[in-house]
Structure 1
Amino acid sequence: MVGSTGSASAAALSTTSDYGILGVRDVDFRLERYAPAPDLAALVERHWVVTWSLPPGKRASVTLLPQPCVNVVLDRGMLAVAGVGRERFTYDYTGEGRVFGTKFRPGAFLPFLGRPVSSITEVTAPASGLWGPAADRLAESLTGPGPVLDVDALIARMEGFLRERWPEPDPNVELVGRIVAVLLGDREIGKVEEVCARFGIAPRTLQRLFNRYVGVSPKFVLRRYRLHEAAARLAEEQARPWAEVAAELGYFDQSHFIRDFTAAIGLTPVAYAQACRRREQPVSA
């Protein structure tokens, strides 16, 4: 039996959204998400697979605004640990391909990493730097030679690898998860100070906790989740007034919302909605 880092109730909390892909989702790729095994759910939010098949000569791209999570990603035969990204990025692709990833809950990768997660923020590095030759062997087992593995097999091998390295329980992982779940889902929370009051944590203590476990500040997480939802709503409901969306998400200062949105997305809310209406690739990194 694998020991649990965090309670079953904490594992049931959602700590990341389904958002992050900017614009109207491209028909040129397919994104599928898979729940982890129950014994891993305290630390792993989900597995995901992106696949595509383009005709010869065609190129496509997708731009993402990253979640405040660490991912372990298999791409083009290489297994990498991807720290939290602060800026949007664009992924270009051609031909046929597949990317497989495991997304950890915010704060939940520190027990594997063994040092502050902020040390890998904005960093993507070979997984062998953390797990040595075993990571290279895992990558080989996921990519061949032999028949292409189906998704169930990919997940089973990744989960087996993690179980062999499952860390000791850390109560701060569960605490961070509960705080992040509030930042994600509670529209009454508009400021980090309100989180501190709810959980009885001093602002500087919360800042240090997030720096060590999440890799970015609680203010960053709150703002990122609100902007994820704003971008998704404007992409899905292009004719809806952006000011209405901003107010629903707790932005009562419209100029503040415009500044945050434009800095993160690369377009004003109006220009972004118009690009989505035309089904254009609205932004790139």
Structure 2
Amino acid sequence: MKENDQENNNFRIAVPADYAGFFSHFYYAENKTAASITKTLLPTYQTILIFNFGTKVFLHSKQDTQVEISKCLVLGPIKQAFDYTLPANAEILVVTFKDDAFYRFFGNASIAEHVPMDPDDILNENCFSVLWNELNKIKDTNLRVDHILKFCDPYLRQQNTIAEQLTGFKDQTLNPIKSVASEISQTERNVQLIHKKHLGYSAKEFNRYLRFLKAIELIQDIVSADSKVDWFEIISECGYYDQSQLIHDFKHYINISPAKYLKFQQDICISKS
């Protein structure tokens, strides 16, 4: 999502090269209008840490549960879409963890996936409450990002060698689990367990998500070119068996049909690495 005006200001912030293995990007948003703004965030299979410096922000799941963000919450890996509402005078800064970085930071890969948690509850310390108070005194967004990065340094663990092979696997024509297992002479089951432990999801479910993401990106490219979407072309290009399988994935990830996605896609955001 890219918008930037005086009243509804939001933008991405690039991660310094030294931290590129831990975070994909930071995201800032504020609402200076009188009305609340509601958007939908598509699944990313990443974990996010949200700092709130303004009025309370609200997250809404497809199960119609609502969660307030008063200061700081962590959520992920994000496997299904959710809505978020920025009321008047809301201001948030979002940290997006990359690959297995959440495990390297907190010591586990998955929290309650659809229920945000206070990060202090995960570490059993009050350090994030202290961090929020420090960040709240800083008004420049880039300086806040610098402060977060310095805070993270002592917590970041060395990457597991097998997890490193899995996250760095680039050949889309091969099965990463089978390939890595063969290379290191371990069973596929053991590599699968390491994948799930460090990333918070299986390779199989992530491949399904990548297929869906490819469909979304193709649709966005077609819409941007003011062309008509050919659903059979989408099915063929993305490797779906038929239209019903495509519809099933849309319902699974964002709870709407492909046709409704076309209608409302301007209000739907995706956070790319």
Distance 1:248 1:218 in 2: 21
Partner of 1:260: 249
Q: What is the percent sequence identity of the aligned residues?
A: 19
Give the partner amino acid of 1:93.
Answer: L
Partner of 1:160: 150
- Alpha-carbon distance change, 26 to 143 in structure 1, aligned in 2, over 3 angstroms: closer
Number of residue equivalences: 243
Partner of 1:4: none
Partner of 1:60: 37
Give the partner amino acid of 1:110.
Answer: Y
Partner of 2:21: 42
1:156: how far off?
Answer: 0.7
Structure 2 unaligned blocks of 5 or more? 54-69
Partner of 1:199: 180
Does structure 1 conserve the Cα–Cα contact (< 8 Å) formed by 2:72 and 2:132? yes
Distance 1:60 1:119 in 2: 27
Partner of 2:122: 130
Give 4+ residue runs of structure 1 displaced > 6 Å after superposition.
24-28
Q: Deviations over 1:110-139 (max 9, x none)?
A: 122223x23443342112123412211110
TM-score (norm 1): 0.73
Q: Does the residue aligned with 2:12 lie in a helix, a strand or coil?
A: strand
Does structure 2 conserve the Cα–Cα contact (< 8 Å) formed by 1:72 and 1:79? yes
Give the partner amino acid of 1:165.
Answer: Y
- Bigger mean CA offset, 236-245 vs 149-158: 236-245
Distance 1:195 1:250 in 2: 18
Distance 1:80 1:275 in 2: 27
The structure 2 residue matched to 1:69, chosen from 32, 46, 61, is: 46
Give the partner amino acid of 1:262.
Answer: K
Q: Does 1:96 align with 2:89?
A: yes
Q: Does the residue aligned with 2:79 lie in a helix, a strand or coil?
A: coil
Structure 1 unaligned blocks of 5 or more? 1-20
Does structure 2 conserve the Cα–Cα contact (< 8 Å) formed by 1:33 and 1:46? yes
Q: Does 1:178 align with 2:171?
A: no
- Specify which structure has the bigger relative contact order, considering alpha-carbon pairs within 8 angstroms and separated by 6 or more residues: 1
Measured on the aligned residues, the alpha-carbon RMSD in Å equals 2.9
- Bigger mean CA offset, 201-210 vs 121-130: 201-210
Distance 2:49 2:86 in 1: 19
- Alpha-carbon distance change, 247 to 26 in structure 1, aligned in 2, over 3 angstroms: farther
Distance 1:282 1:139 in 2: 28
Q: Does 1:113 align with 2:92?
A: no
- Alpha-carbon distance change, 169 to 255 in structure 1, aligned in 2, over 3 angstroms: closer
- Bigger mean CA offset, 132-141 vs 32-41: 32-41
- Alpha-carbon distance change, 122 to 234 in structure 1, aligned in 2, over 3 angstroms: same
Partner of 1:242: 231
Does structure 1 conserve the Cα–Cα contact (< 8 Å) formed by 2:26 and 2:96? yes
Does structure 1 conserve the Cα–Cα contact (< 8 Å) formed by 2:181 and 2:191? no
1:62: how far off?
Answer: 0.4
- Alpha-carbon distance change, 78 to 270 in structure 1, aligned in 2, over 3 angstroms: same
Q: Does 1:85 align with 2:64?
A: no
Q: Does 1:51 align with 2:27?
A: no
Distance 1:221 1:30 in 2: 32
Distance 2:135 2:4 in 1: 26
1:215: how far off?
Answer: 1.1
1:165: how far off?
Answer: 2.2
